[in-house]
Structures are given as C-alpha cells and as structure tokens.
Amino acid sequence: METTLSSLPGPREIESLSHTRIVQCYQCGKCTAGCPMAGQMDAPPTRVMRLVQLGDVEAALRAKSIWQCVSCQTCSARCPKEVDCAGVMDALRQLAFERGMASPAERRTVIFQRAFLDNIRRYGRLNELELIARFKGEVFLRGRAVGVLFEDADLAPKLQQRGKLHVRRQRVKNRGVVERIFSRALDGGGR
C-alpha cells in the first residue's frame, strides 16, 4: 500500500494523540534502561522518542520496536519528565496500523491484534478458539510458516481436560450496539 509522505503526522499530532508533551523528553535513557525488551529492539524507547522529536516520524512508524513493546508501562512510570512513553508507543502503533506501515518483521503481532478486534466486534466478547484459528490461518497464509499451525498444539488437549476450552460461543445479546461502537470508532475517522 502506498503511503503519501506528505500525509505523515508530525510530532505535534503524536503529542495530541498520546496526550503527552514529547518535547519534554531530554533523552535521559531511563525508559530504555527499564524496558524489558530494549535489548532486542532496533530502536529502543529513547530512540523512538528522539525520532519523533526530530520529525522523522516515518522511521518511528516503521520501527519493529513499537510492536515488540509489551506495554508494561515501566517507561512511563519512571520517566522523570512525566512523558507518557507507553502512550506514545500506543499512538505510533495506531498510526502505523492505520497507514499500513507496520513493520513486516512483526507481522504476527499486528495480525493477532487485528484478529482479536474482529473477533470481539462480531461477538462482543472474545471467542478464543476462533481467534486462534483465524490467527494461525492468517500467519500461515501470509508467511507460509507451517510451524505456526502446530505451535502449542500439545496444550489443546490439556486445556480441554481442564475444562478451559469453550466450543460454545461467548456472545452478548445486543451485538448491534457493539457493531455500531466499532463502526463509529474505526470508520468515523478513527482518532
């Protein structure tokens, strides 16, 4: 999908979406220091914040790290300048997803989150079996990764034994309102 660079958001827009003043960040690195995933990230949190400050939003949106982030909130909790770094990561994810710019290397995560949303859109509550099936199917089709189909396959019977697998659908009666909520939030501008 083509992205028109001129339509990329600027730092101000990201600040407004995340309700935090990124300009306050003085690059102290405490977020990176406490991030459980920093060692594996291409751009640890400090660098992501700096990219946004410099206006290189594209690099931030395409980074793997925003999808490697587990939203543990440690960065925001410890930031001495009260910058909501976790909120910025959320904003970047939302923008990257909208624009189809999410890092291909982290495809699994994006597929999972979208499948999750589609699932609850349909039923109002999560149906795990259907989510797993949809997730595995899509990951397999996109990446031809056969392995995914068998991941944790050994757990299925054990979950079944323990009465933790529900074949019967979890759903709310008033699914119409759920559909309308989704439609207004996603299709009515989304932000």
Partner 1 sequence: MKLGYYPGCALHGSSNDYEQSVRASLAALGVELDEIDEWICCGATAAHSLNHKLAVALPARNLALARQQGHAEILAPCPMCSMQLLKAARAVRGDAALRAEIETIVEAPVDGGTGVLNLIQVFERAGIDKIKSAVKRPLKELKAACYYGCLLVRPPAVAAFDDAEQPRSMEAVVAATGAAAVEWNYRTECCGAGMTMANPETVLELSHRILENAAAHGANCLAVACPMCHVNLDMKQAAIEKRYGSHYGLPVYYLSDLVGMALGLGATELGTDRHFVAAPVGAKEA
Partner 2 sequence: MARIGVFICWCGENIARTVDVVQAAEACRAIPGVRCAEHYKYMCSEPGQALIRGKIASERLDGAVVASCSPHMHLKTFRRAAAAAGLNPYRIEIANVREHCSWVHHDKATATAKAIDLIRMAAAKVRYDRPLEPIRVPVTRRALVIGGGVAGIQASLDIADAGYEVVLVERDPSIGGKMAGLSETFPTLDCSQCILTPRMVEAGQHPRIRLHTYSEVEDVQGFIGNFEVTIRKKARYVDMTKCTGCGECMKVCPLKRTLSEFDFGMGTRPAIYMPFPQAVPARPVVDKNVCAKIIRNGCGLCEKKCAPGAINWKDHDELIKEKVGAIVVATGYKLYSIGREQKSSKITGYGEYGYGKYKDVIDALQFERLVSASGPTNGEIKRPSDGKVPQSIVFIACVGSRDNAKGLAYCSKICCMYTAKHTMLYKHKVHSGQAHVFYMDIRAGGKGYDEFVRRAIEQDGAKYYRGRVSKITLENGKLIVRGADTLAGTPVTVEADMVVLAAAMRPADGIEELAQKLNVGYDENGFLLESHPKLRPVETNSAGVLICGACHAPKDIPESVAQASAAASKVAVTFAASELTREPEIARINEQTCAACFACVRTCPYHAVERAEIRARNGTLIKYTARVNQGLCMGCGTCVAVCPSKSADIDGFSEEQIYSMVEALA
Count CB neighbours of 97 within 10 A: 16
Residues 11-70 that bind partner 1 (CB under 8 A): 17, 36-37, 68, 70
Q: What minimum distance in Å lies between the beta carbon of 13 and partner 1?
A: 12
User: Which does residue 169 bind out of partner 1, partner 2, none, counting CB within 5 to 8 angstroms by kind?
Assistant: none
d(CA 68, CA 66): 6
Among 138, 5, 116, smallest CA distance to 61 is for 5
What the block records as the tokens of 19 is: 């309700």
Under the binding rule (CB under 8 A), the answer on residue 79 touching partner 2 is: yes
What the block records as the tokens of 52 is: 């946004």
Amino acid letter for position 51: L
Query: Helices (H) and strands (E) in the chain — how many of each?
Result: 12, 0
* Interacting residue ranges for partner 1, rule: CB under 8 A: 17, 36-37, 68, 70-74, 76-77, 84, 86, 90-91, 93-94, 97, 108-109, 111-114, 116-117, 120, 124-126, 128, 132, 135, 151-152, 155, 158-159, 162-166, 170, 172-174, 177-178, 180-182, 184-186, 190-191
- List residues near partner 2 by CB under 8 A: 24, 26-35, 38-39, 43-44, 46-47, 74, 78-82
